[in-house]
Chain A
Amino acid sequence: MGSHEHSHEHSAAQPLATRIQHMTGLNPLKCYQCGKCSAGCPMATETTTRPHDVMRLVARDQLDRLTDADGLWLCLTCETCTSRCPNGCDPARTMDALREILAARTNGKNHNAIRAFHRSFLTQVRNHGRLFEMGLIMSYKLGGGPMFADVTTTPSVLARGKLGLAPHNVKGLEEIRRIFEACAAQEDGA
């Protein structure tokens, strides 16, 4: 298995397929549009950018259309597409790379709730080292999630002893923060 040029040793001026290949070591142009990925995709009925559409838009260098499309954000990362691809294209990993590229674009108009959830989740991990579920719920609601969803169910979760009220901080919290910073620095091309 050859090592790939990891991370952002590529520029926005390059064709999208080339950028993806630099990030993942996978060649998106190998996709021959059989559609097997989309046939198994659990979210295919909710989006117009199914996995094979995403692969096609990458091949056609249509980053703007991907930015506005919902498919990347609805992806459940269930790996069905990747498991079934007869050509080793790994659509799931390709979509991870695309989300990474698009995360830098602040104008993504779609699916702010899902992006807000990811941000809140990672903030909890960065602050505590572990996910503090109660903190996630609060931070997600304040950070753009639906404010009143689950307000009626939260007490029943508490009654079952399922939600801790105070976060648990890991001892290696400094290390966790250093990992977050080092990853960000590495991906900024340091």
Chain B
Amino acid sequence: MSIGYFPGCSLHGLSREYDESLKAIAPALGLELVEVNDWSCCGASSAHSSSHLLGVALPARNLAQAEDQGIAEVVAPCAACYARLAAARHEIAGDATLAGHINKVLARDFRNSVKVRSILEVMKGALPAIGSKVTHPLKDLKVACYYGCLLVRPVEVTGGYDDPEDPSSMEAVCKAAGATPVKWNRRLDCCGGGLSMSRTGSVVRLGAAILKDAKAAGADAIVVACPMCHSNLDFRQKAMAQRGAWDGEMPILFLTQVVGLAMGLDAKALGLGRHFVRTDSVTTRPAPVAAGEVG
């Protein structure tokens, strides 16, 4: 299946391993990623915190680019990009006045025809393909699936592909990869998002609570599907330790890396070496069982 691909700024910068790992697993999932031509920043929380119209217009420009390319639906792996693109589509569809303003600002004939999908929605749709491609099931790997804020809420924007208070799509993908999701409490709590630079203390407090809860639930690693969640939980573990908020080493994996490992892909191809907290405990696991022993 061909699907539009909106990488977003983080996947070309701080979280390039998310881009690398998604591209590495896409063929096996039957996904042909068609990058949106000359895509631009979605504006993230800075745009909509400053101007509502700008917060809609910046993502709308990208939806217009995709529309001009003949793309029917687009996947945005970053949770913030996904939320901004999906919210723009939702708001424009429900407000003729706003739609008029946006067409005027964009100076294009924009029909708002492109559907926006989250990575979880796409991976959930690819579950049968994932199951059939797993050669190295992550047996005995206990994972804490962390959704954070914007992947599943608000439900008016997401269209309800998963439950906003009790989601299950990430656990389903991890199970298909052979891992064992743990039950824990903080999978929908916010990691501190965009305050990472401007108010690091808050991010340390919120992130450490998430790490401690995952550890207490017996998780070997936390699985995320958002570059900001990844950065705040992986990169900021050092700041948490320096401030005495956390003293462990919890590997933080992108969901795409989990699936890639289960497919037997190389850790380097999946960008695992780019993480701040080492992932050896996950990658140097016992060799898979011989073919004859597989169920």
Query: Do the beta carbons of A7 and B40 come within 8 Å of each other?
Result: no
Query: Do the beta carbons of A122 and B47 come within 8 Å of each other?
Result: yes
Cα separation A82 to B50 with both chains bound (whole Å):
19
Query: Do the beta carbons of B12 and A168 come within 8 Å of each other?
Result: yes
Given that A113-B199, A178-B107, A179-B105 are contacting pairs, would A125 and B58 also be in contact in the complex, using a CB cutoff of 8 Å?
Answer: yes
Q: Does A57 reach chain B (CB closer than 8 Å)? A: no
The residue from A4, A118, A157, A164 contacting B12, defined by CB atoms under 8 A apart: A164
Main secondary structure of the interface of A (DSSP, over half): helix
Chain A 164-190 interface 0/1 with B at a Cβ cutoff of 8 Å (1 = within): 100010111001101110111011000
8 A–B pairs (Cβ distance < 8 Å), ordered by A:
A6-B53, A7-B52, A42-B206, A113-B199, A160-B273, A161-B274, A170-B38, A179-B61
Chain B 53-92 interface 0/1 with A at a Cβ cutoff of 8 Å (1 = within): 1110110010001000000000000000001000000000
* Interface positions of B from 232 to 255, Cβ below 8 Å from A: 235, 238-239
Chain A contacts for B48, CB-based, 8 A: 77, 96
Cα separation A150 to B200 with both chains bound (whole Å):
10
Binds A, one of B111-119, B133-141, B150-158, B286-294: B150-158
Query: Do the beta carbons of A176 and B16 come within 8 Å of each other?
Result: no
Q: Count B-side interface residues using an 8 Å CB cutoff.
A: 68
Taking Cβ atoms with an 8 Å cutoff, the residues of A that contact B are: 1, 3-7, 23-25, 42-43, 46, 74, 76-80, 82-83, 96-97, 99-100, 103, 113-114, 116-118, 121-122, 124-125, 129-131, 133, 137, 140, 145, 149-150, 153, 156-157, 160-164, 168, 170-172, 175-176, 178-180, 182-184, 186-187
- Write the nearest CB–CB distance from B99 to chain A, whole angstroms: 9
- Write the nearest CB–CB distance from A171 to chain B, whole angstroms: 5
Query: Do the beta carbons of A163 and B98 come within 8 Å of each other?
Result: no
Cα separation A51 to B38 with both chains bound (whole Å):
38
Chain A contacts for B95, CB-based, 8 A: 1, 3-4, 6, 25
Query: Do the beta carbons of B53 and A163 come within 8 Å of each other?
Result: no
The residue from B12, B40, B45 contacting A129, defined by CB atoms under 8 A apart: B40
Query: Do the beta carbons of A145 and B57 come within 8 Å of each other?
Result: no
Chain A contacts for B200, CB-based, 8 A: 149
Binds A, one of B122-130, B168-176, B185-193: B185-193
Q: Does B27 reach chain A (CB closer than 8 Å)? A: no
Query: Do the beta carbons of B43 and A125 come within 8 Å of each other?
Result: yes
Given that A3-B98, A76-B193, A172-B38 are contacting pairs, would A180 and B198 also be in contact in the complex, using a CB cutoff of 8 Å?
Answer: no
Chain A contacts for B107, CB-based, 8 A: 175, 178, 182
Query: Do the beta carbons of B198 and A116 come within 8 Å of each other?
Result: yes
Chain A contacts for B45, CB-based, 8 A: 76-77, 118
Given that A78-B149, A80-B149, A99-B49 are contacting pairs, would A164 and B61 also be in contact in the complex, using a CB cutoff of 8 Å?
Answer: no
> Which residue among A96, A172, A179 has the maximum number of chain B CB atoms within 10 Å of its CB?
A179
Query: Do the beta carbons of B39 and A170 come within 8 Å of each other?
Result: yes
The residue from A99, A150, A170, A171 contacting B197, defined by CB atoms under 8 A apart: A150
Contacts beyond the supplied A96-B52, A140-B198: 9 A-B pairs with Cβ under 8 Å = A24-B52, A80-B153, A99-B49, A122-B54, A130-B12, A130-B41, A149-B200, A157-B235, A179-B105
